[in-house]
Amino acid sequence: MRKGAFWLLLALSLPLSAHAELYCAVNFAGKNCWYNDMASCRKAAGPQGDCVLNSDKMQAPVGGAPICMVESWQTQCIYQDLASCGKVAVSRRAECIRNPNYR
């Protein structure tokens, strides 16, 4: 067996969680959580697909504001609106979501 084929077979035999990253591309091929930034996820998803956050890789939300900025190492809920979060998130290659714990 060629060396490259061995590594491909090994990678395919590992459970999906071994490959899981923060972003998942969802398209005709299914859901693949192999991306650590939204840009590469969107490229992989293509024009007919979408990208979603992998809740299994998200850190527990910290803070009580209605909007959270999600990065691979933290989820900070310190923003009052999507616009203010979005300004910071762009330079950090992060995403903004509604705080799931906000009431």
* Tally of domains within the chain: 2
Q: What is the mean pLDDT of residues 50-67?
A: 93
Q: Based on the domain organization, do 65 and 49 belong to the same domain?
A: no
Q: What pTM did the predictor assign?
A: 0.70
Domain annotation covers residue 45: yes
Give the residue numbers spanning the domain of 30: 15-53
Highest-scoring range by mean pLDDT, 20-24, 32-36, 82-86: 82-86
- CA end-to-end distance (rounded Å), the chain: 57
Residues 71 and 94 in one domain: yes
Asked if residue 48 is part of any domain, the answer here is: yes
Percent of the chain with pLDDT over 90: 67
- pLDDT tens-digit readout, 27-49: 998 999 999 888 899 999 999 99
Across 11-85, the runs of DSSP E, i.e. the strands, are 23-27, 30-35, 50-53, 61-62, 67-71, 74-79
Residue 38 in tokens: 């939204």
**Are both 19 and 49 inside the same structural domain?**
yes
Query: Same domain for 67 and 49?
Result: no
How deeply is 100 buried, as exposed, middle or buried, from its count of CB atoms within 10 A (0-12, 13-18, 19+)? exposed
41 lies in some domain? yes
What is the CB neighbour count within 10 angstroms for residue 88?
14
In a domain, 2, yes or no: no
Considering the domain boundaries, does residue 1 fall inside one? no
Instruction: Establish if 7 belongs to a structural domain.
Output: no
Q: Would you state the pLDDT for residue 19?
A: 64
- How is residue 60 annotated by DSSP? P
- Mean pLDDT over each residue of the chain, to the nearest integer: 84
